[in-house]
Each structure stands twice: as C-alpha cells, then as structure tokens.
Structure 1
Amino acid sequence: MNQSAEHTDLDDAVIVALGSDLPGAYPSCIDLLEAALDRFAAEGLEIVARSAWWRSAAWPDPSKPPYINGVVLVRSRLDAASVHRALQDLEAAFGRERGEANAPRTLDLDLIAFGRQVIDTPDLTIPHPRAHDRLFVMGPLSQVAPDWRHPISTGTAADLAAAATVGRDAKPI
C-alpha cells in the first residue's frame, strides 16, 4: 500500500522509518511490520501516509538476512520524546533485543523527523543523524513526500534519495 501525503503539511510531518530482517513469531517480516503498523493508533500515532515496502541487503554486513523497510507519516498529540518512547515500547513488544549495533532485528522503528524540530539530547537526535544518506529511508519517504525538506540540510526527500550512498540496492517490492 502506498499513500501519498498530499494533504499533509510537511513542515509538521512526523516521520517514522520501519525495518525488519527477522520475522520473529510472524510468517514474514512484512507480516510483522504490518502488525506493528496496526498497533500505532493504540500508541497515539495516527498514520496519514505510508510507503510501499522496500527490500535491501543488510548493512553493513550483506551476508545477514535482507531488510524490509518502509516509511510512515504520522500525526500525534505526543511530543517528540514521547513518540520516541512509544516506538521503543513497540519494538520491545515485537521482540526487539538491543545489543550489537546493526545486528539483525525483528523490528526497528526510527523517528526520522518531528516537524521542523532539531533536537540533540543524549536520548534523542532529530532529525535522525544518518537517515538522509540511506536509500532504504529516503526512497520510501520520497514515495509519500518527495517535497519534504530535511530540517538542517533543506534537501528534499527526492534529492536525498538520489544522493544516498548507503543501501543503494534498495528497491520497492
């Protein structure tokens, strides 16, 4: 499913990237990701647009299982820190175990942007510090909000997708 953000004010967009390379208790990673999206509303996150699912090799170790990724735009009454906590709670509910960086995982939920806010605390960095260089994030984002502008670089999602150097093999399924 691919829904556009035509009627969303992109200056207020709350952008969440989703990823999985371990299906956990689900038949597939896509089933797990769909189940996670079904729980967003209960966490105070209303999905207003979503990308198609994209597949890419695991990064930085392509010998690990491939990733399924996507992006959603959400609306929420929560502040950025509360949205971040809600996403971490969802990850835990779906069996996410934190350990080695970039290790395979059931569910990875990253808060990419929270409107035009720039936040840099020990617990939260917004916009996400590496998302702009990842095709598996900017590609899906450019599907739903190609004109979204990065709060710091001001590059559009479409331009950032074209320039991304990480995950260049990412493609919509």
Structure 2
Amino acid sequence: MEIQLTHEVSAHINFRNYEFQDPKSHGYRWVDLKHLRFPSESVGVQELLAALIGHEQFRDDYAGGGVLSEGSRHGPYWLRLVTPDVYEAVSRERSADILWGWVNQFGEVPAELEAVLQQEVFDRLAVADRIYSLSGLGDESIHDWGRVHEHFHEFVLIDRSAGRITLVVAADD
C-alpha cells in the first residue's frame, strides 16, 4: 500500500534572528521543521519513513536551495542513499539530549529562542509516539558539496494521535 503524505506547514527557526550576548555565538545555526499528515489507517513505521523519503518536501539540501521537486540531495547526502533502514529508533531523552547539546554548544541561548525551541521542537518530541534519527550513512553517502554543514541532526517524529509526521533538521552553515 502506497501512503500519501500531505504537507501541512513548514517552520524555520534561524538563530540569527535572536540577540545573543556574543553575536558570533549563534554559529549560523537553524532548525527546520516540516509537518506532514498521514492517513488515519494503520500503517507501519517503515512505510511512513518510505513515504517521507519519497515526498517532495524531503528533497531539500538545506543549503539555501530549498525544496527542489527533482532534487537529488537531502541535506549533505545523496537522496538515493537515504532509505528507511538508515533511520534508528531513539528515545525522547536521547533525542532531547542531542538537540539541547547542539543548541547550547556555544553557551546558553537567549530566553526567547529557548521558548520557541521548546514549543516548536521539544514539546513535539515529548508527544511523539516514535522518534527516529538519521544515522548509518557513511562518507560515501555525502554528496559533492555536502560538507557545508558542520553539524547535521535529523529526527523524524511520528505522532499517531495527531496523524502527523514531523521532519526536524537542526544544522549550521
């Protein structure tokens, strides 16, 4: 059964839009969220991940080009090498630890940014039924200019009660 995801909305949280004590500590970081609806019938995780990977919104290099319907890149990776089996189930605690560690790598962030991140990212982690992290891709998966990101964290949040899958990418450039 082929699953059709419907793109609801995207959000982009750019750290440069907040006032840091040290202006360089924002580190050109950002978080991008893509929210997609899935049908209410019971579908497996592998099918949901495959539908996400096949969706046009997944074709984003996160380097300024935006979503390209015929794109061949996903973040720093060649799209053809991103498959459901390279996603690893992670706990809420582990995903939150990874993301807060990345957020606070240069010290505390402004309270206003922390509140936005809490609402848009961490509250969603807390209600997700399942969380998956993109992992298992080696150097051979990185496309020709894929090393523009020093850090690239990707999580897929599945919230069955809301019928929503959320792609969370936290990176820098």
* Pair in the same fold by TM > 0.5: no
- Rg (Cα) greater in structure: 2
Q: From the two aligned structures, give the one with the greater strand fraction.
A: 2
